Structure 1
Amino acid sequence: MRTRRIAVLIDGGYFIKRLPKVVEDRFRTTPETVADTARILCKKHVQRLIGEALGARQSRWLDHVYRLFYYDALPYDGVSHHPIANRRVQFATSDQAAFRKALFQELRKKRKFALRLGQVTKESDWRIRERLTKRLLKTRDWLPLLEAPLRDDSGTPWTDALLAEDQRRALQTLIEDWRSLDEGDVILGLRQKGVDMRIGVDITSMTLKGQVDTIVLVTGDADFVPAAKLARREGVEFILDPMWQSISDELHEHIDGLVSVLRTDPTTTLRETED
């Protein structure tokens, strides 16, 4: 059997976000289990490509691996004042930052894994999460009524005088949305930089140097398309794993296969020996 040259590239931010959708809690609760799950994902892809049975006792899957790449960004290390909690937030010492740093250390211990780390920068101040923004912006619809007390001196409760029952309920809902706003509903405007660029550079470099014949990319981002087109023109097989997330018809045009492999059940064994 010929030896394949396979590279698996994992978009770490996307991978972490999709894990709750495809695996049980026990496969993602600690940095160790997340690192093991990333390795299992890679192994399943390689075994599928080389025609080896999943769970084979004498697996030689790593012999067919050029490199396993994990892309993410170093945790933001700035300090900011939370507008609702009224306290300083030191992002460098947060639970999320500690988790990511520990995860990176675990991945460094895995055979043939390489880390590619970008940066996180602050682009804007605190903002309300998207799921609440549209609802709270409806405040604008009620500005004329909110101004009514300034114009009405009759002594009649303005809500009774001006609002129908359905309007009163809608306004009450909006008021409750504002009252229930808590510190978890606002986030600092942070953005990853350098991650997509590193993915594109590695795909291009491996392709032009002839280091691989197959690339598996774990992401749902369309930014990879130019690099994928280059790889395919040079004869590299390009597989996309969106972790069961649907993709647009346009993206299908620029890949050679759509394969999601990471889905667990109660009988799955997480920790495997390093073959």
Structure 2
Amino acid sequence: MSGARIAILIDGGFFLKRLPHLVAANRCDSPLKIAACIRHLCRNHIKMLTGHQGERWQQHLYRIYYYDAVPYDGKAHHPIDNRPIDYSKTPVAQERHALFDLLRKERKLALRLGKVARDHDWTLSPRLTKRALKSRVAVRALDGLTVAPGGADLPTTLTLTPEQVRQLVELRDFWTQEVHGGAVSLGLKQKGVDMRIGLDISTLTFKDQVDTIVLVAGDSDFVPAAKLARREGVEFILDPLWQQVNADLFEHIDGLQSGLKKPGAAAEAVAELAPPLPAAPDAADH
């Protein structure tokens, strides 16, 4: 494949989530190092597909496409910590913008940015939500408390069973110890990224710009675009960064390989994630 034209498409949100599991912490703790990891991943893919190991590996590369979303820049008030938050000034937003600035300067790299929008208000984590709903049983112990007409307080002496006392203590501990600032999150949702990936796969395919597409992603949303590319004769490689993928995805791709070494692997050389797939069925069948 010496004259191959290869496009590498990277789902940035997925890549940044998986990267700390694949490289040492001191190799991905800054935007500069993350950009270096992206180059390393792409170079390894070119090397595996072409056998080219020299410094001119980019001659086989059509382009790298990096997809992410511009961080949310709105403001909100934290319901538990009782403090204002300016999301544009958070470390996550600042580091993401710094990474984008570095990637814009990379050779043969196109940055494709969606956006993050506020989809709903603050929510409690699913695990804690279940426990909060179950706490209704403990609250029934307070049924004996009443308020007199006009708001005058009545005596608050309650007779509780040992089980009711235990439930109320657990309820107190739950709300004072487990429901902290990190237990809630603002309903932010990434928009436009998957659409951009699908459009670029379609464009690369129909304009006959590449022979091979490598997609670094972790879900199956790409399947319709992958099927389209394969029907038109484009080789489609998936890199899930060693994350387990569903077996039925194999019929929609031409290969599975990783540009970063397997977690815990002793060898420094990048290995393929799975043995070569059998010959793909006729593209017209997909």
TM-score (norm 2): 0.82
Aligned to 2:253: 255
User: Which of 59, 65, 68 is the aligned partner of 1:69?
Assistant: 65
User: Which of 120, 125, 134 is the aligned partner of 2:116?
Assistant: 120
CA displacement at 1:92 relative to structure 2? 0.8
Shift of the 145–72 alpha-carbon distance from structure 1 to 2, 3 Å rule, reads same
CA displacement at 1:179 relative to structure 2? 1.0
> CA–CA distance in 1 between the matches of 2:28 and 2:126?
25
Q: Which has the higher contact order (CA 8 A, sep 6+)?
A: 1
Shift of the 14–144 alpha-carbon distance from structure 1 to 2, 3 Å rule, reads same
> CA–CA distance in 1 between the matches of 2:224 and 2:188?
26
CA displacement at 1:194 relative to structure 2? 0.6
> CA–CA distance in 2 between the matches of 1:99 and 1:112?
22
Contact 1:123 1:189 in 2 (8 A): yes
> CA–CA distance in 2 between the matches of 1:125 and 1:262?
37
Shift of the 175–18 alpha-carbon distance from structure 1 to 2, 3 Å rule, reads farther
**Deviation per residue, 1:106-126 (Å, 9 max, x gap):** 111221111000011101111
Shift of the 101–172 alpha-carbon distance from structure 1 to 2, 3 Å rule, reads same
CA displacement at 1:146 relative to structure 2? 4.8
CA displacement at 1:226 relative to structure 2? 0.7
Aligned to 2:32: 32
Aligned to 2:280: none
Aligned to 2:272: none
User: Residue 249 of structure 2: SS of its match in structure 1?
Assistant: helix
Amino acid paired to 1:240:
L
Shift of the 60–88 alpha-carbon distance from structure 1 to 2, 3 Å rule, reads same
User: Residue 118 of structure 1: SS of its match in structure 2?
Assistant: strand
CA displacement at 1:137 relative to structure 2? 2.9
User: Residue 72 of structure 2: SS of its match in structure 1?
Assistant: coil
Contact 1:148 1:158 in 2 (8 A): no
Aligned to 2:50: 50
Identity of aligned residues (%): 52
**Deviation per residue, 1:179-214 (Å, 9 max, x gap):** 122212211100011100000000000001111111
Shift of the 17–154 alpha-carbon distance from structure 1 to 2, 3 Å rule, reads closer
Aligned to 1:272: none
Aligned pairs for 1:150-165 (under 5 A) are 157-160=159-162, 162-163=163-164
Aligned to 2:212: 214
> CA–CA distance in 1 between the matches of 2:127 and 2:38?
29
> CA–CA distance in 2 between the matches of 1:207 and 1:77?
35
Structure 1 residue runs without a partner (length 5+): 270-275
> CA–CA distance in 2 between the matches of 1:156 and 1:76?
49
Aligned pairs for 1:70-89 (under 5 A) are 70-89=66-85
Aligned pairs for 1:125-136 (under 5 A) are 125-136=121-132
2:99 equivalent to 1:103 = yes
Q: State the Cα RMSD in Å.
A: 2.5
> CA–CA distance in 1 between the matches of 2:13 and 2:156?
58
Larger Rg over CA atoms: 2
Moved more, 212-221 or 256-265: 256-265
CA displacement at 1:81 relative to structure 2? 0.8
TM-score (norm 1): 0.85
Amino acid paired to 2:24:
E
Aligned to 2:14: 14
**Deviation per residue, 1:87-109 (Å, 9 max, x gap):** 11111111111000000011112
User: Which of 152, 167, 173 is the aligned partner of 1:176?
Assistant: 173
Contact 2:214 2:236 in 1 (8 A): yes
CA displacement at 1:20 relative to structure 2? 1.7
Shift of the 2–32 alpha-carbon distance from structure 1 to 2, 3 Å rule, reads same
> CA–CA distance in 2 between the matches of 1:267 and 1:109?
32
Contact 2:144 2:158 in 1 (8 A): no
Structure 2 residue runs without a partner (length 5+): 147-154, 270-286
Shift of the 177–46 alpha-carbon distance from structure 1 to 2, 3 Å rule, reads farther
> CA–CA distance in 2 between the matches of 1:48 and 1:11?
20
**Deviation per residue, 1:26-54 (Å, 9 max, x gap):** 121001011111111111111101123xx
User: Which of 134, 137, 156 is the aligned partner of 1:138?
Assistant: 134
Aligned to 1:238: 236
CA displacement at 1:159 relative to structure 2? 4.1
CA displacement at 1:131 relative to structure 2? 4.1
